Amino acid sequence: MDTSILVSSLASPPVLFFFLGALAAWLRSDLEIPQPVPKLLSLYLLLAIGFKGGVELNRSGLETQMLITLGAALLVAVAMPIGTFVVLRKRLGTANAAAVAATYGSVSAVTFITAVTLLGQLQIPSSGWMVAAMALMESPAIVIGVLLARRFGANEEGHAHGWGELLREAFFNGSVFVLVGSMVIGVITGPSGETALAPFTSGIFKGMLCLFLLDLGLVSARRLAASRELRAVHCGYAIAAPLVHGAIGVAIAWLLGLGRGDALLFTVLCASASYIAVPAAMRLAIPQASPGIYVPMALAITFPFNVVFGLPLYLAVINHFWS
């Protein structure tokens, strides 16, 4: 593995701020990013990345490779949770397996954004429409997860939420909505919109990402420390999943003939797990599953793993096979 990639990933301000947050939690500093600042930052990042992706889409127009990649993304988003469920059902029980499947079948926007930032730093080009792939991959896992839970008999006593609410939660939840909506606005307004919004969506973007990662460092370290329910099987899976899903992602990217940048982004989408939209939906739809398991797995293990080790690793692998 090329150490210069590792260094340039680890020594980038966003990752360093993530470490700083984790360190603060570990030293039990009273540092806190007060609510609702994290929500605002998350909203901002989705808006900015969506908008910029939309503008790129406006520039590039519809390409064949884009359509094929989006198709592949959709396929992965459906197949991955099913695979995960099959693997985990015996070990975690139906409800928890379904929730974990949904979590890992979906994507983490911040991991994606950190990857985009890393590519920018290394001056490796990537396509704007990868944002569309991310948007496509957010929701299906939620639906699949719930279908699996119900089909395989997670006890539904006290189940109060119908499919209408569930689909709304899956496709119209705040994260997906802002991401997709901003992308559409980017497509509509194109370069002129970009000029108007650039200082907001691009100028301060990296700084806002740093602030958000500072918070994620804090929150994920605290959540890890507070999680009583995590056992070895969960931790093991939370490390294994990004590696296995990442390998699948690399393979598909290779088959699709993506460029290096897009390949990394596709891999990161496969390898990452949702810790915002999906947990909220799972909590409503599969109340028997324990959030004390699937939230810290995604937030406190897989997310740091991806940001710290995963990104440089995936990129090194891609560099190796693509050259």
Binding site for another protein (CB under 8 A): 35, 38-39, 42, 157-160, 219, 222-223, 226, 228-229, 275-277, 279-280, 283-284, 287, 291-292, 295
From candidates 66, 131, 211, 285, binder to a copy of itself by CB under 8 A: 211
**Residue 287 phi, psi dihedral angles, 5° rounding:** -65, -20
CA dihedral 112, 115, 121, 123 (to 10 degrees): -90
Q: Closest CB to another protein among 105 and 287? A: 287
State the alpha helices, DSSP H only, in the chain.
Answer: 3-10, 13-26, 37-60, 64-92, 94-105, 109-122, 130-138, 140-151, 163-172, 174-198, 205-226, 232-256, 260-271, 277-285, 291-296, 303-305, 311-322
Site string for a copy of itself, 188-207 (x = CB under 8 A): xx---x--xx-xxx-xx-xx
Counting contacts by CB under 8 A, is residue 87 touching a copy of itself?
no
Q: Give CA–CA dist 307/304, Å, rounded.
A: 5
User: Smallest distance from the beta carbon of 192 to a copy of itself, in angstroms?
Assistant: 8
Q: Which of residues 138-167 bind a copy of itself (CB under 8 A)?
A: none
Single-letter residue type at 29: S
Site string for a copy of itself, 103-142 (x = CB under 8 A): ------------------x---------------------
Q: Closest CB to a copy of itself among 252 and 276? A: 276
Counting contacts by CB under 8 A, is residue 29 touching a copy of itself?
yes
238 dihedral zone (left: phi>0; alpha: psi -120 to 50; beta): alpha
Counting contacts by CB under 8 A, is residue 177 touching a copy of itself?
yes
User: Under DSSP, is residue 290 helix (H, G, I), strand (E, B) or coil?
Assistant: coil
Q: Closest CB to a copy of itself among 30 and 157? A: 30
Q: Closest CB to another protein among 3 and 155? A: 155
Q: What separation, in Å, do the N-terminal and C-terminal C-alpha atoms of the chain show?
A: 14
User: Smallest distance from the beta carbon of 241 to another protein, in angstroms?
Assistant: 20
Question: Taking Cα atoms as reference points, which of 258, 66, 120 lies closest to residue 249?
Answer: 258
Q: Closest CB to another protein among 133 and 218? A: 218
Q: Structure tokens of 181?
A: 């909506």
User: Smallest distance from the beta carbon of 38 to another protein, in angstroms?
Assistant: 5
Q: Give CA–CA dist 294/269, Å, rounded.
A: 18
Counting contacts by CB under 8 A, is residue 17 touching a copy of itself?
yes
Q: Closest CB to a copy of itself among 111 and 173? A: 173
Q: Give CA–CA dist 320/120, Å, rounded.
A: 19
Binding site for a copy of itself (CB under 8 A): 11-13, 16-17, 20, 23-24, 27-37, 39-40, 43-44, 47, 51, 121, 168-169, 172-174, 177-178, 181-182, 184-185, 188-189, 193, 196-197, 199-201, 203-204, 206-208, 210-211, 214, 280
